[in-house]
Amino acid sequence: MNKPAFTFPGQGSQAVGMGRDLADSFAEARAVFEEVDDALGLKLSAIMFDGPEDTLRLTENAQPALMAASIAVVRVLDARGVKVAEAASHVAGHSLGEYSALCAAGTFSLSDTARLLQIRGRAMQQAVPVGQGAMAALLGLDMDVVKEIAAEAAQGEVCDVANDNSPGQVVVSGNLAAIDRAIEIAKARGARRALALPVSAPFHCALMAPAAEAMREALGNVDMKAPSVPLVANVLARPISDTQEIRTRLVEQVTGMVRWTESVSWLAKEAGVTELYELGTGKVLTGLAKRIDPALSGQAVGTAQDIEAFIAARG
């Protein structure tokens, strides 16, 4: 039987209360949250557990928070004999989740990952003044049509395809007016729904170039080890293990498209993966997996109860 792949959620999965029951149940989880708090010089765990929601939702907090919750699960599993290097064939993460995946696979230390994501979150937020950028989900259209819509909507501004999440769920990102045009064009082209997303910045588009430069500098100053299992990279939708290439692709990822549909399809068709386990907060990627390939079985492992069930199922 083929080994499963471990996936790691991205921004939007955060929620007040995240990680609390892990901290209440497991010393390993508490240690993760304490180390992240220390690395950031910020009581991030208190914001995760108690809010307020608008503080948690800030990109510079949401990104390390989601990573911390994922790594808390990883460390609890590891202490119970489920080690990433032995249990998984590959890791993959959605946008910031790529950093969680790399931390889980030993490429970055936990403290370095937390600091990198705080830098990434701040840089992405500062790249575009609030109110000048937007993102929109275009539902029920295939990728080729969305690319045509983005090109038509741009009119000299930025309108890029940001996320290919699953068949019929594609996100565009760019200047506010261009995204507004894309929504209207998509409706006229028969989209099931076309709606602006409640995000604070236009991620994964050309407007994020200043943030990409900030990450190039930050990643150049951090220790990296080859991952214990290959990472299926967002911008390539194929596995990589070389640290220099990982660094390059993480920089590209800031402005590049998250090719999630292709990444999951690669795992299923090329690597023969039949099971995906989403480690961390929420169930977004588990839901997407079924839409991408109905033959995949997906399971979210984010709570103490999920962990106990996962361990029990492995016998």
What gap in Å lies between CA 170 and CA 136, rounded to an integer? 8
Q: Which of 87-114 are b and which e, b meaning 16 or more Cβ less than 10 Å from the residue's Cβ?
A: bbbbbbbbbbbbbbbbbbbebbbbebbb
What gap in Å lies between CA 76 and CA 163, rounded to an integer? 31
Question: Annotated catalytic, 95?
Answer: yes
What gap in Å lies between CA 246 and CA 98, rounded to an integer? 10
Question: Annotated catalytic, 204?
Answer: yes
What gap in Å lies between CA 306 and CA 304, rounded to an integer? 5
What gap in Å lies between CA 163 and CA 31, rounded to an integer? 33
Q: How many helices (H) and strands (E) does the chain have?
A: 15, 10
Peptide linkage before 4 cis (omega within 30 of 0): no
Q: Is the dihedral of CA 266, 76, 97, 293 positive or negative?
A: positive
The one catalytic residue in 13, 95, 166, 263 is 95
Q: Which of 121-142 are b and which e, b meaning 16 or more Cβ less than 10 Å from the residue's Cβ?
A: bbbbbebbeeeebbbbbbbbbe
DSSP label of 236: T
The one catalytic residue in 89, 100, 173, 204 is 204
Report the C-alpha dihedral over residues 67, 68, 73, 76, rounded to 10 degrees: 140
Residues with catalytic annotation? 95, 204
